[in-house]
A = this chain, B = another copy of it.
Amino acid sequence: MSQPLVGIIMGSQSDLNVMSEAAEILEELKVPFELTIVSAHRTPKRMVNYAEKARSNGLKVIIAGAGGAAHLPGMVASMTSLPVIGVPVKSSNSIDGWDSILSILQMPAGVPVATVALNGAKNAGILAAQIVGSFNKEVAKTLDNYKNSLKMKVEESAKKIETQGWKGKIIGFKN
């Protein structure tokens, strides 16, 4: 794989179930990435190091996922001027995800985090690709194709219902 443009990090190995969706879609969209574990609360020095070297390491975007009092995305954003995408993870110790969402979203003026939906790692990957695609025509084209494939899947399932009726069991596509 060529030089990673996107860095995917998460606070704990238990976040990998959710966060691997970011990696999968980046593979599909052919945007090179790296993935590892960086804990704001258990490895703060490792986090400082990661954030400070991100730009010189060639990264263009960082995706950071965490649950509960999720400080990783915001703290990384405080130490780099690269765009940081935050993924609130509904971990076992989370209150229905509200804690993760609010502690990632509500950053103070000066230090933005681009927050996506709860457990929205797939969208984080697509957003990272869109950022790269703003300055890279090939990625932009891949994204347009992806967008088109989403449209076609909806049209296909609409056609099935319209012709076969809504009562029978319809073999669906993953939302």
Give me the interface of A with B, judged by CB distance under 8 Å. 11-14, 16, 20, 23, 35-46, 48, 55, 60-61, 67-71, 74-75, 77-79, 81-83, 85, 91-99, 101-120, 122-124, 126-127, 130-131, 133-135, 140, 143-144, 146-147, 150-151, 153-155, 157-158, 161-162, 166-167, 170, 172-173, 175
Contact = CB atoms under 8 A, between A and B. Distances in A.
B150 A110 contact: yes
A30 to B, nearest CB: 14
A60 B119 CA distance: 26
Contact of A133 (B81, B98, B104, B133): B81
A173 to B, nearest CB: 7
A69 B106 contact: yes
Nearest to A39: B154
B158 A36 contact: yes
A50 to B, nearest CB: 10
Contact of A36 (B37, B83, B118, B162): B162
Contacts of A134: 60-61, 82-83, 131, 135
Given A69-B106, A74-B69, A117-B106, A92 B127 contact: no
A92 to B, nearest CB: 7
A117 B108 CA distance: 8
Nearest to A76: B44
A114 B69 CA distance: 13
Contact of A127 (B99, B114, B154): B114
